[in-house]
């Protein structure tokens, strides 16, 4: 092999299989930012206003409209796993987003039809749910398509954007953190337009007009995404990540009687150049030792799938297992978020919505945290991170898990403030027949907006950085999965608390805290304080798991071969292979240094 061929091999080793591997960078992400900006105009408008659509158009009661909304949102974010799985396994992340975007458009079309024609809407009734039969079928079909499309997009787009930067290049590695900050900003600005302009059209003019604007914005977003195709680095899909995880558990159970070797060198691993090109080799860790049984190759047995797994494959499963407590610790925060999109919006309908001569739609109140986030994200990126970096030495200012922790604290504070505001609202209305201003809600909305800025970006970058290369779409979807479970938990809490408090209620307090259609007769403030107390307990739980978590320590394939060269899996020493590895790594390092110098020269 000549020097040029070896350097080409080194360059191939530095990157995972890509189409247009010479492209990427921030110029490619501009199309992604435009897509998320446009798509979120309609998506977030729906998140904010659907609770009112279900209440006033579909004729659900107070708790029914809330639970239907949170179930829809929970399903949407749960389906991000489907988008992540498909984009890791069967289709490129770009094509996955385009396909699910088309499904989302069909959902918008159906909901436009139902909101336009009165004969497709239910008549008022005394029941908690008035929509039945074909009308219910049309409603659920439309929101299912919206959920599937929106979830699939969000399961593939974040990883597509982060793929435009090479995580092995120190200069580009810092750009990944910046990408997620600007990604959130594009979502936030789009959401700001959605909860003001589109929500106003829907709630104050006509629902079908608002949904039609959302449809047009989503279509334009897909056009922008497709226009950027020639600029993207597009990762080639590979083996199913879920199948790789399943293989480890199955083989570990098969070998449950086997004893784990005392040294990691005796575990099965493929350390040739071809395996390095397929992905990073992950060093062995001692945590979750039971899973190491999957990497035991019995003597006299040829390696094969479902018989033995590599150390790297086992470590991938360990990484995902370590992530789970972090994921579970953020669920309650998203249960709190669900209240801002349901209960707080319903509160707004009983408050003074006038701003001068203009009447503000209650569903537009989430614009307050969005404005906060739109201002604070650039401040965070350009001022806070460089300032705090001087003290911490961390390239991102603070770690991902520290960002998440800040968000959890602020979400607890937000729920406490929400309870106090509800007390004031009811006292003024019931004692003095006075409606307080809608903007009293801005206090807990603003605090939660800052919390969301810290937590969502921290989680997305955490899951992307820590995940194995072949599972990054799926892993990035975990941040949305936390949202999904949080919304489902909100529905469960509402139902459970209504049942328990109805049985315990006495005198004037008979009935559940959130039952019926009259919010003034309910006790929403108690529900807010219940969530605030749970949030404090959850934060203590999070501190334990954040301290317990060990960040992944990846070793690129060429370095791993150097470090671990020597005895191979059959116990023999291959000096020629070791010498070749030394030469290959030396030249690879020379190639990397040359590339870094060229990059620095270009930037200057």
* DSSP 8-state secondary structure symbol assigned to residue 47: H
For residue 404, give both structure tokens: 């998440």
pLDDT digits (tens, 9 = 90+) for 345-404: 777 778 887 777 777 777 777 777 777 777 877 887 778 778 888 887 777 777 888 888
For residue 460, give both structure tokens: 């997305």
The Cα angle at residue 542 between residues 540 and 544, in degrees rounded to 5: 75
Residues 6 or more apart in contact with residue 14 via CB below 8 angstroms = 166, 168, 556, 588, 592
Distance of CA 90 to the CA centre of its chain: 21
Q: Are 566 and 453 in contact (CB under 8 A)?
A: no
The Cα 604–Cα 600 span in angstroms is 6
Three-state SS for 240? coil
Angstrom CA distances, 167 to 308, 464, 582, stand at 29, 10, 24
Q: Are 334 and 504 in contact (CB under 8 A)?
A: no
Residue 403 has what pLDDT? 86
CB atoms under 10 Å from CB of 165, counted, come to: 23
Domains of the chain by residue range: 11-237+317-548, 241-316+553-599
Distance spanning both ends of the chain, measured CA to CA: 35
CB atoms under 10 Å from CB of 384, counted, come to: 13
Residue 219 has what pLDDT? 95
| pLDDT exceeds cutoff 70 at 585 | no
The Cα 437–Cα 408 span in angstroms is 28
Q: Are 425 and 436 in contact (CB under 8 A)?
A: yes
Three-state SS for 492? helix
Q: Are 62 and 128 in contact (CB under 8 A)?
A: no
Distance of CA 388 to the CA centre of its chain: 26
pLDDT digits (tens, 9 = 90+) for 239-271: 667 788 888 889 888 888 888 887 777 788 876
Report percent pLDDT > 70 for the chain: 79
Three-state SS for 181? helix
Q: Residue 359 is inside which H or E element, if any?
A: strand 358-359
Q: Quickly list H helices, 330-441.
A: 331-341, 343-348, 367-379, 385-392, 400-432
CB atoms under 10 Å from CB of 272, counted, come to: 12
pLDDT higher at 351 or 129: 351
For residue 472, give both structure tokens: 């990054």
The Cα 604–Cα 602 span in angstroms is 5
pLDDT higher at 394 or 308: 308
Residue 598 has what pLDDT? 43
pTM tops 0.85, yes or no: no
Distance of CA 33 to the CA centre of its chain: 16
Q: Are 594 and 602 in contact (CB under 8 A)?
A: no
Architecture of domain 11-237+317-548: Up-down Bundle (1.20)
The Cα 190–Cα 188 span in angstroms is 5
| pLDDT exceeds cutoff 70 at 587 | no
């Amino acid at each position: 092999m000549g020097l040029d061929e070896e350097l080409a091999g080194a360059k191939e080793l530095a990157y995972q299989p890509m189409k247009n591997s010479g492209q990427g960078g921030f110029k490619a992400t501009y199309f992604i930012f435009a897509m998320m900006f446009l798509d979120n105009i309609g998506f977030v408008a729906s998140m904010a206003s659907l609770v009112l659509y279900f209440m006033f158009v579909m004729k659900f009661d107070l708790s029914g409209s809330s639970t239907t909304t949170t179930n829809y949102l929970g399903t949407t974010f749960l389906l991000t796993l489907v988008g992540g799985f498909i984009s890791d396994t069967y289709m490129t992340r770009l094509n996955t987003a385009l396909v699910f975007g088309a499904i989302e458009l069909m959902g918008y079309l159906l909901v436009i039809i139902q909101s336009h024609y009165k004969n497709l809407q239910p008549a008022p009734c005394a029941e908690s749910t008035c929509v039945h039969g074909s009308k219910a079928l049309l409603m659920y079909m439309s929101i299912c398509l919206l959920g599937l499309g929106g979830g699939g997009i969000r399961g593939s787009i974040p990883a597509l954007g982060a793929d435009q930067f090479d995580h092995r290049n120190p200069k580009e590695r810092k750009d990944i953190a910046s990408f997620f900050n600007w990604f959130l900003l594009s979502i936030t600005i789009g959401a700001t337009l959605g909860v003001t302009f589109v929500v106003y059209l829907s709630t104050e003019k006509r629902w079908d007009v608002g949904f039609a604007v959302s449809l047009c914005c989503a279509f334009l977003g897909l056009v922008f995404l497709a226009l950027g195709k020639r600029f993207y680095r597009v990762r080639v899909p590979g083996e199913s990540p879920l199948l790789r995880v399943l293989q480890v558990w199955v083989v570990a159970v098969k070998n449950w009687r086997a004893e784990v070797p005392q040294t990691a060198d005796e575990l099965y691993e493929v350390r040739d150049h071809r395996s390095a090109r397929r992905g990073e080799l992950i060093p062995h860790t001692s945590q979750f030792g039971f899973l190491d049984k999957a990497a035991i190759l019995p003597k006299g047995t040829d390696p094969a799938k479902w018989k033995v797994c590599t150390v790297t494959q086992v470590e991938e499963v360990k990484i995902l297992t370590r992530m789970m407590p972090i994921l579970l610790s953020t669920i309650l925060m998203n249960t709190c978020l669900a209240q801002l999109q349901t209960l707080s919006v319903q509160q707004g309908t009983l408050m003074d919505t006038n701003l001068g001569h203009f009447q503000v739609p209650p569903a537009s109140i989430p614009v307050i945290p969005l404005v906060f986030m739109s201002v604070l994200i650039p401040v965070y990126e350009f001022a806070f991170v460089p300032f705090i970096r001087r003290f911490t030495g961390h390239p991102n200012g603070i770690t991902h898990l520290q960002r998440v922790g800040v968000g959890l604290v602020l979400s607890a504070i937000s729920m406490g403030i929400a309870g106090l505001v509800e007390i004031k609202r009811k006292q003024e209305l019931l004692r003095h027949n006075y409606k307080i201003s809608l903007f009293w809600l801005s206090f807990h909305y603003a605090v939660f907006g800052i919390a969301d800025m810290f937590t969502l970006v921290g989680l997305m970058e955490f899951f992307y950085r820590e995940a194995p290369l072949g599972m990054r779409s799926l892993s990035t979807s975990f941040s949305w999965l936390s949202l999904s479970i949080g919304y489902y938990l909100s529905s469960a809490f509402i139902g459970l608390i209504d049942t328990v408090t109805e049985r315990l209620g006495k005198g004037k307090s008979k009935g559940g805290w959130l039952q019926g259609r009259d919010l003034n007769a309910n006790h929403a403030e108690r529900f807010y304080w219940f969530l605030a107390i749970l949030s404090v307990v959850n934060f203590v739980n999070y501190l334990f798991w954040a301290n317990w978590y060990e960040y992944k320590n990846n070793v690129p394939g060429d370095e791993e071969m150097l470090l671990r060269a020597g005895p191979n899996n059959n116990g023999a020493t291959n000096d020629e292979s070791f010498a070749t590895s030394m030469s290959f790594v030396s030249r690879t390092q020379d190639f990397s240094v040359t590339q870094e110098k060229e990059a620095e020269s270009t930037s200057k």
